[in-house]
């Protein structure tokens, strides 16, 4: 049976690569992106439907959820892949630190707004995390907005750790209702995700010489695709974190169930959802 796979952040990078690969595998892919021209181009190249949402605006995330519920009677895989690393600390119109909102809070909101559809479909929810969760995070549950401590690297690492904690809590809360959840590190990918950052991050991801040391978007996309095509409990474990298609370790905080629960509760309060 052909499955419906929704991929956010699919206008370029590993999201676009995964969309092409999954379409080639015979799946129905729904392309979600922020830039209309890029998103349309990816979707048109594979004959897929496409939708727009800027994750720095939670009203657009809510509108996206409405459209997805209306258009797709099944959502077999939701890949929360949208994200990025940014420069100086910025606050969105919703009042949240930009890195935290785009990388974690928007995907958290979208997943919860689609929760009933995901349960009905016995769906897999995939989070694009990063080794940055281990390398750069200085996670403080009482400073999620990085008001006391901010750097682009730390904010990104904290958000990627939030992806893993969200994955584990999602599996704990809704695993017995049929939802599976997994997070993964795609590799240091030669893409434009750091284009809005500055300093070393910007140089590493935009300099042609440095980019030769990075993993291709096709390889990164295949790692997302491996999870999307895989069977939870057989190919991968729900609640797990993977790198190079194998179970991997992140920071010890990623295995803290109390921290995962507190992050869920605070995230839900931020976006006005029930904590249940």
Residue 77 three-state SS:
strand
CA distance 274 to 183: 24
User: Catalytic pick from 72, 150, 156, 242?
Assistant: 156
CB–CB of 113/126 below 8 Å?
A: no
Q: How many helices (H) and strands (E) does the chain have?
A: 12, 8
Does the active-site annotation cover 205? no
Q: Which of 100, 80, 77, 69 is nearest to 10 (CA)?
A: 80
CB–CB of 2/26 below 8 Å?
A: yes
- Is the Cα dihedral 216, 218, 219, 224 positive or negative? positive
Instruction: Return all residues near 179 (Cβ < 8 A) that are at least 6 apart.
Output: 115, 118, 119, 122, 123, 124, 125, 170, 171
Q: State the catalytic residues.
A: 156
């Amino acid at each position: 049976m052909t499955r419906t796979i929704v991929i956010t952040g699919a206008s370029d990078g590993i999201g676009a690569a995964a969309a092409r690969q999954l379409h080639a595998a015979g799946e129905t892919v729904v392309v979600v992106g922020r830039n209309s021209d890029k998103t349309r181009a990816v979707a048109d190249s594979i004959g897929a439907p496409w939708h727009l949402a800027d994750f720095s605006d939670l009203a657009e995330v809510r509108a996206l959820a409405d459209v997805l519920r209306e258009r797709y009677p099944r959502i077999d895989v939701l890949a929360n892949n949208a994200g990025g690393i940014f420069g100086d600390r910025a606050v969105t119109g919703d009042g949240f630190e930009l890195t935290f909102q785009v990388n974690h809070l928007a995907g958290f909101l979208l997943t919860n707004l689609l929760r009933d559809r995901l349960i009905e479909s016995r769906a897999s929810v995939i989070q694009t995390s990063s080794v940055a969760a281990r390398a750069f995070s200085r996670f403080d549950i009482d400073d999620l907005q990085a008001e006391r401590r901010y750097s682009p690297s730390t904010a990104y690492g904290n958000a990627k750790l939030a992806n893993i904690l969200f994955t584990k809590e999602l599996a704990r809360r809704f695993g017995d209702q049929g939802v599976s959840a997994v997070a993964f590190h795609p590799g240091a990918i030669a893409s434009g995700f750091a284009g809005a950052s500055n300093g070393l991050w910007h140089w590493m991801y935009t300099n042609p010489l440095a980019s030769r040391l990075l993993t291709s978007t096709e390889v990164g996309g295949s790692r997302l695709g491996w999870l999307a095509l895989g069977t939870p409990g057989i190919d991968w474990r729900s609640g797990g974190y993977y790198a190079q298609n194998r179970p991997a370790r992140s920071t010890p905080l990623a295995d803290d169930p109390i921290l995962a629960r507190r992050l869920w509760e605070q995230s839900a309060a931020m976006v006005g959802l029930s904590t249940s």
